[in-house]
Homo-oligomer: A and B are copies of this chain.
Amino acid sequence: MPKLVDHAERRRAILEVTWRLIATQGPDAATMREIARQAGYANGALVHYFPNKEALIEAAYVYVSEQTDLRIRAAASGKRGLAALRAFLVELVPTKEVTLLEARIVLPFWSRTVTDGALARTSDARMQRWRDDMVVLLAEARRDGEVRTAVPDAVIAEQLLAMAMGMQVLAQLPDHATTPDLQLRVIEAHLAALA
């Protein structure tokens, strides 16, 4: 029986190398050559999985977003309403080593969306799903009597999404980074004001 190649696993391994390289050394350092080297492939072997660097970077962004979503789902699992929303937000903001590293890849991606329409639409769809998820949890929290503010759920979701995205930037500042502790206080204060 011939040796079977697990293409999904190989693809995943390449994406792991790619996003960590971008996060630690910036997008310019993430050449196809260096990614192939770190993933243990011969030069040129990557094109079987990703035709060019643009495709690879977009796939890496989707991969990181999916990892974030998996963690959000795990954290919110078994919770509802405000508790689920809190767990969702805590996973979304960069309070831990892995989410701080993920935030470092988000900035180069956002930068690329200015000139890359396909990447912009991918990013757009992701943000819209997060908004929709938050609105569902807010509606649940209202039914449970946890949220009583007159502010519409769509406005609250926008506040929370904007705050979470802004913290991707602020948590990376070299001298006055928004610390994990302050990020959590920002989230708690906002959720407390919804009652």
Task: Give residues in A with beta carbon < 8 Å to B.
Answer: 23, 25-29, 104, 107-108, 110-115, 117, 120-121, 123-125, 127-128, 131, 149, 151, 154-156, 158-159, 161-167, 169-170, 172-176, 178, 182, 185-186, 189-190, 192-193
Kindly provide the distance from the CB of A137 to the nearest chain B CB, expressed in whole angstroms: 18
Inter-chain contact B162/A123, CB cutoff 8 Å: no
Inter-chain contact B121/A175, CB cutoff 8 Å: yes
Residue of A29, A121, A125, A166 with most partner-chain B CB within 10 A: A166
Interface of A is mostly: helix
10 tightest Cβ-Cβ pairs between the two chains A and B: A162-B166, A111-B111, A165-B166, A166-B166, A26-B115, A124-B173, A162-B163, A151-B189, A108-B111, A107-B111
Inter-chain contact A127/B158, CB cutoff 8 Å: no
Kindly provide the distance from the CB of A170 to the nearest chain B CB, expressed in whole angstroms: 6
On chain B, the residues within 8 Å of A192 by CB distance are 151
On chain B, the residues within 8 Å of A193 by CB distance are 149, 151, 193
Kindly provide the distance from the CB of A193 to the nearest chain B CB, expressed in whole angstroms: 5
Inter-chain contact B127/A172, CB cutoff 8 Å: no
| Closest B residue to A159 using CB positions | B186
Inter-chain contact A174/B121, CB cutoff 8 Å: yes
Q: Can you name 15 A-B residue pairings with CB atoms under 8 Å?
A: A110-B111, A111-B112, A113-B172, A120-B174, A124-B174, A127-B170, A131-B176, A158-B170, A162-B162, A162-B166, A163-B163, A163-B166, A164-B166, A165-B166, A166-B167
Kindly provide the distance from the CB of A63 to the nearest chain B CB, expressed in whole angstroms: 18
On chain B, the residues within 8 Å of A189 by CB distance are 151, 155-156, 159
On chain B, the residues within 8 Å of A112 by CB distance are 111
Instruction: Known contacts A115-B26, A189-B155; decide if A167 and B175 are in contact (CB<8 Å).
Output: no
